[in-house]
Structure formats: C-alpha cells, structure tokens
Structure 1
Amino acid sequence: MIGGHLGNKSIRDISWLLKIPRSTVSGIITKWKQLGTTATQPLSGRPRHMTGRGQRMLKRTVRRSHQLSAESIAKDLQTWCGLQMSPTTVRRELRGMGFHGRAAASKPSITKCNAKRWMPWCKARATSGL
C-alpha cells in the first residue's frame, strides 16, 4: 500500500489492485503519514494490576484452600510475591478467572429414620403429578 502511495497511485487504484476497501487503504496511509509506521500501536488505558505470574499465584492459592477470604489472600500475595493489592482487586480477578463465592445450600441429613418419615410424602407427590 505504502509503495503504491509513494508511486503516485490513487487510493482508489490501490484498493482496486489489492481488493480491499478504500477506507482501509486511506486509514493505513494516514497512519503511515502521522506515525511513520503501519504497525498496530499498544492500546491506551490503565494497565492491568495483576500480571500473568500474579494470576497464576492467585489461582494456585485459591485451589489449595477454597475457604480463604479475599483479605487473607491479598495478604498472602503481598508476603509471597510482593504484590500490593486490595481485597476488591482479588475478588475481581477471581471472578474473571471463573471462581465465584457461592456455597452449597445446607440440606438435612437423610438417615434411615428420616427416609421412612418422608416416604409417604414422596409417594403422594409422585402420584399427584407434582
């Protein structure tokens, strides 16, 4: 594209030769004029707080013990890796990794006595169609 532009070809001719949209050719030539390169630039915005290494440490910590609170995990990461982060950041990263703070509902233990006691109710429910 740039070679065609330097060879005094029009944007329409370049797009027709390369079979790509004129807007793409125009954008790339404009970028080349302003920046001197056609390579993609890094994204703007605030960098992530945790690197890949920190995320691996966090995942390893949570897999070892599921009962730890976010506060204790943040303290552990600070002592082991030197990562200074808040419990809110730890929770956000864990949710991003697929860990969610959900506990199973407590269910009554079903002993033989409880099973006999519940049997009539289960039979009645099965016959009523519920």
Structure 2
Amino acid sequence: MQTASTYICERMAHSQELSEFKRGTVIGCHLCNKSIRDISFLLNIPQSTVSGIITKWKKLGTTATQTRSGRPRKMTERGQRMLKRTVRRNRQLSAESIVKDLQTSCLRQISTTTVHRELHRMGFHGQAAASKPYITKCNAKHWI
C-alpha cells in the first residue's frame, strides 16, 4: 500500500512541459464530462495542472504554451559583437578596460559582471599559463 505522499511524489515531475498531445487529451476528457479528479488519475497529472489547462482553454481557446517573457538582456546582439571584436583584438585587456570601452561606444551602463558572464557564454575564459621552471640537464638529473 502506498501512502498519499509517495503517490504524489511519483506522479509529479518538476519543470516539465506537457506535450501538445497530452494537453489535448485533457481537453478531450473534459469534453467527455470527466471530472478533474478522474482526468488527473487517468493521465497521471496533478489536479492543479489539469485545472490550469482547462481554465486556459476556456479563456483563450488554445492549449499551446505561451512564450515566457523573462528579463531582457542588458547587452544587445550589437553589443555582444562589439565585445567579441574588442577581446579578439587584444586578449590581454582587463575586464574594467573592456567595460569602459563598451560604455563609451554603446552609451549604456554595463557592469564588469555582465561582461564576465557574456565572455564566458561566448567561450572566452581567463586562463594564465602555468609557470614552468627552466630545467637544465643538471636539474633534470635531480628530477629523475
């Protein structure tokens, strides 16, 4: 026998979008006069999700997912291209100097954290060469 909490944990999947087919199935069951509880049990979906799908279908007439707005990026595509061009010209520049250069050309306030994040996203990582001692033949004998 399963307890209610383990049953719910088995059913719920975190941050997964339902497929268009499954959402259509929910609407089809609703049109066949099935209760939310029955639909939830049949399709193994939480009742709140079933209720949300039906409500959205009644209000908007569609089951398609809406685009998520999110916060707009601070750097535009043009700014990203300028950043990439600046770094390719001189890879020895510090983040602060890159920020000053971008702020004068873009006329926009950009933080060093934003520049670091964008550079990592583009594939630029600050890596310094490891220091290697000069090994002469005499020193090599001691290493072996």
Compute the TM-score of the two structures, normalised by the length of structure 2: 0.56
Listed as ranges, the matches of 1:7-18 within 5 Å are 10=34
| Change in 2 beyond 3 A, CA 1:119/1:21 | closer
| Change in 2 beyond 3 A, CA 1:116/1:4 | closer
Deviation at 1:105, TM superposition (A): 2.1
Residue of structure 2 in register with 1:97 after alignment: 122
- Please tell me whether the aligned partners of residues 27 and 54 of structure 2 are also in contact (alpha carbons under 8 angstroms): no
Letter of the structure 2 residue corresponding to residue 121 of structure 1: H
Which has the bigger relative contact order, CA under 8 A and spacing at least 6? 2
Letter of the structure 2 residue corresponding to residue 68 of structure 1: L
- For 1:77 and 1:36, locate their aligned partners in 2 and report how far apart those are by CA, in whole Å: 46
Work out whether 1:87 is the aligned partner of 2:112: yes
Work out whether 1:74 is the aligned partner of 2:113: no
Greater Cα radius of gyration, structure 1 or 2 = 1
Which region of structure 1 is more displaced relative to structure 2, 70-79 or 99-108?
Answer: 99-108
Work out whether 1:120 is the aligned partner of 2:144: no
- Please tell me whether the aligned partners of residues 57 and 63 of structure 2 are also in contact (alpha carbons under 8 angstroms): yes
Deviations along 1:12-48, one digit per CA (max 9) or x if unpaired, are 89xx9xxx87778765433222344434223243222
Q: Which runs of 5+ in 2 are unaligned?
A: 1-23
Deviations along 1:29-85, one digit per CA (max 9) or x if unpaired, are 332223444342232432221233322222222122111111111122122333420
- For 1:34 and 1:52, locate their aligned partners in 2 and report how far apart those are by CA, in whole Å: 36
Work out whether 1:55 is the aligned partner of 2:80: yes
Letter of the structure 2 residue corresponding to residue 64 of structure 1: R
- For 2:27 and 2:131, locate their aligned partners in 1 and report how far apart those are by CA, in whole Å: 70
Compute the TM-score of the two structures, normalised by the length of structure 1: 0.61
Listed as ranges, the matches of 1:11-50 within 5 Å are 27-50=52-75
User: Runs (4+) of structure 1 moved beyond 3 Å?
Assistant: 1-13, 20-29, 34-39
Report the aligned-residue RMSD. 3.4
Size of the aligned set, in residue pairs, is 116
Q: Which runs of 5+ in 1 are unaligned?
A: 126-130
